[in-house]
A and B are shown apart, each in its own frame.
Chain A
Amino acid sequence: MSNKIVLGLVLGGVLGILDGLTAWFTPAVRAGIVGIVFGSTFKGLIAGVLIGVFARKVHSLALGILFGLAVGAFLAWIIAFMQHGYYFQIMLPGAMVGLIVGYATQKYGASSQLQRA
């Protein structure tokens, strides 16, 4: 079991990369794939850290999932707002990534106290 923050960071980053790469299947945005992947990864990393910190403070699966969902959706909303569109296509996957990271950090992440022991 890894540290909750590290787990959130890794999972958020990996899912962010995958999330960004799927833009390649949308011909309209394929040209800007590099920027999308970078942006998506950055968003995933930030979401991962925030969710990891929350998981360290609050030991509740339900709250962890809810917080992950909210953070993922909010960060995705910022991206969609900057893009002036694609709200549904950006916010739904973003919220789901947050939800998965929220679940994983609560379920699989080890608290720092446990790791020290």
Chain B
Amino acid sequence: MKFLPDQIVARLQTGMQTPDLSGTRYRALELLGHGGMGTVWLAQDSILQRPVALKVLAAENSSADLAARLMQEAVVLARLEHPGIVPVHDAGTLADGRTFYCMKLVEGQTLDHYARKLPLRERLRLFQRIAEPLAFAHSRGIIHRDLKPANVMVGPFGEVLVMDWGLAKVMAATSASSATGQVSEHVTDATGLSSTGTQVSGHEFTRAVQGPFGSGALAPENSTAHGTVLGTPGYMAPEQERGEVNLIDQRTDIFAMGSILQSLLQEPPGSPEGESYSRPLRAICAKAMSAEMSARYASVQELAADVGRYLDGLPVSAYRENIFERTARLVSRNRVAVVLVLAYLFMRLLFILFSRR
């Protein structure tokens, strides 16, 4: 038996989710997305007169643990001041008791949507730029743990932003971690829970708006798995899948970067097999995604540098090429010089042949 029409139920649900922003400088405008932990709202900052994004803990999830987790996520983000990481402007508790934080509103497309129409070399350059904020985070002792194309946004001016640090892990013994005083002795999740505590995954919140690149979908394609295992299937390193939280370090993110690279190498259906199937690129993916952590790249910079070497026509560390491949690469890299020398030799040969007549 149905008492209320669906539209009214939907409006009531939205009304319940709408955060009580009274007493704050923000005014909720539009629901951008929702996930396992909370909702993200487009809001207007009434003082600075600019649109912002508010991540608010869902009313039904307002437990102390999740509130601490959201706050820890804000703290992690605040610690990561980098052009490739969304800046946090504000954080606190609303009048209705829900925890929130305010961040820059990111408009653009997720990597998987954006990269679809790019040629391979552009995709690889984009990949290198994802590595920059990640390397910065690693240098601050923070591991993302949920890297995937849906968590990378490309803005209207081509700016690359790594999003959703909700599952980030703060490594111990870093200057940054000691600053907060909220980090356990060994490892602490962005949840603020120790590695042995209950772990709940988050969801990404991405907004794709109509812009110069067209429109994109609001809903994420891959949702983060729930349970003791944190991350997204298909992008999780083996140690992450096994729930070996203490083993997780930057090489776990490197595995995910390898998965992202692999997804970027996939050509759209129907397009011919081209450079993306080159052995060095496959070898880079394979090295980054090694089951053995020690066999992976030691740092994300090394991975990006190998991709850069490929782009520059240089040998990559992940692949030992044979003499024919090496020659082909050198010829390809110095095509004009080879053509000039060959033209010179051909001309000389003609001169010799004609002089003998």
Q: Is A99 an interface residue (CB 8 A)?
A: yes
Q: Is the interface of B mostly helix, strand, loop or mixed?
A: helix
In the complex, what's the smallest C-beta–C-beta distance from A61 to chain B, in angstroms?
A: 9
Interface presence of B323 (CB below 8 A): no
- Structural contact, B343 and A107, CB atoms closer than 8 A: no
Interface residue from B341, B351, B355 paired with A100 (Cβ < 8 Å): B341
What is the size category of the interface that chain B forms with chain A? 10 to 19
A99 CA / B347 CA spacing, docked (Å): 14
B351 touches which one: A22, A28, A103, A108 (CB < 8 A)?
A: A22
**Selected interface stretch from A31-39, A43-51, A88-96:** A88-96
Cross-chain contact B344 with A104 (CB below 8 angstroms): no
A108 CA to B356 CA, complexed, in Å:
37
CB–CB A26/B347 < 8 A: no
Min CB–CB distance A100 → chain B (angstroms): 5
B309 to chain A: closest CB distance in Å?
A: 16
Contact of A89 with B351 in the complex, beta carbons under 8 Å = yes
B337 at the interface (CB under 8 A from A): yes
Q: How many Å lie between the Cα of A116 and that of B341 in the bound state? A: 31
Residues 66-117 (chain A) with a chain B CB within 8 angstroms: 89, 92-93, 96-97, 99-100, 103-104, 107-108
Contact (Cβ within 8 A) B355 A93: no
Q: How far is the CB of B345 from chain A (nearest CB, A)?
A: 9
Chain A: interface residue total (CB-CB under 8 A): 16
Return chain B residues, CB-CB under 8 Å to A26.
351-352, 355
In the complex, chain B residues whose CB is within 8 Å of the CB of A96: 340, 343-344, 347
Say if the beta carbon of B336 comes within 8 Å of chain A: yes
Contact of A92 among B336, B337, B347 (CB under 8 A): B347
Residue of B nearest to A26 (CB): B355
Residues of B324-357 at the interface with A, using a CB-CB cut-off of 8 Å, are 336-337, 340-341, 343-344, 347-348, 351-352, 355-356
Is B344 in contact with A100, judged by CB distance below 8 angstroms? yes
CA distance A13 to B347 in the complex (A): 19
Q: How far is the CA of A92 from the CA of B347 in the complex (A)?
A: 9
A28 to B341, CA, bound (A): 26
Decide yes or no: A25 and B355 within 8 Å by CB, A103-B336, A104-B337, A107-B337 being known contacts.
yes
A-B contact count (CB 8 A): 37
Residue of A nearest to B356 (CB): A25
Binding site secondary structure of chain A: helix
Contact A93 B352 (CB under 8 A): no
Distance A62 CA – B355 CA, assembled complex (angstroms): 33
- In angstroms, Cα B336 to Cα A104, docked, is 10
* CB contact between B344 and one of A27, A28, A89, A97 (< 8 Å): that residue: A97
Contact assessment for B340 and A103 in the assembled complex, using a CB-CB cutoff below 8 Å: yes
Name A89's closest neighbour in chain B (CB-CB): B351
> What is the bound-complex CA distance between A107 and B356, given in angstroms?
37
* Residues in chain A near residue B344, CB distance under 8 A: 93, 96-97, 100
Complexed CA–CA distance, A3 and B29 (Å): 61
Residue of chain B at shortest CB distance from A99: B340
Looking at the assembled complex, report how far the CB atom of B352 sits from the nearest CB atom of chain A, in whole angstroms.
Answer: 4
Chain B residue with Cβ nearest A61: B336
Are B348 and A22 in touch, CB under 8 angstroms?
A: yes
24 residue pairs from A and B, CB less than 8 Å apart: A22-B351, A22-B352, A25-B351, A25-B355, A25-B356, A26-B351, A26-B352, A27-B356, A28-B355, A89-B351, A89-B355, A93-B344, A93-B347, A93-B348, A96-B340, A96-B343, A96-B347, A99-B340, A100-B341, A103-B336, A103-B340, A107-B336, A107-B337, A108-B337
Interface residues of A (CB under 8 A from B): 22, 25-28, 89, 92-93, 96-97, 99-100, 103-104, 107-108
- What is the interface of chain B, defined by CB distance below 8 A to chain A? 336-337, 340-341, 343-344, 347-348, 351-352, 355-356
Q: A100-B341, A103-B336 are in contact. List 13 more A-B contacts (CB 8 A).
A: A22-B351, A22-B352, A25-B351, A25-B356, A26-B351, A26-B355, A89-B355, A93-B344, A93-B351, A96-B340, A96-B343, A97-B344, A100-B344
The 6 closest A-B pairs by CB, nearest first: A25-B352, A26-B355, A96-B344, A100-B340, A22-B348, A103-B340
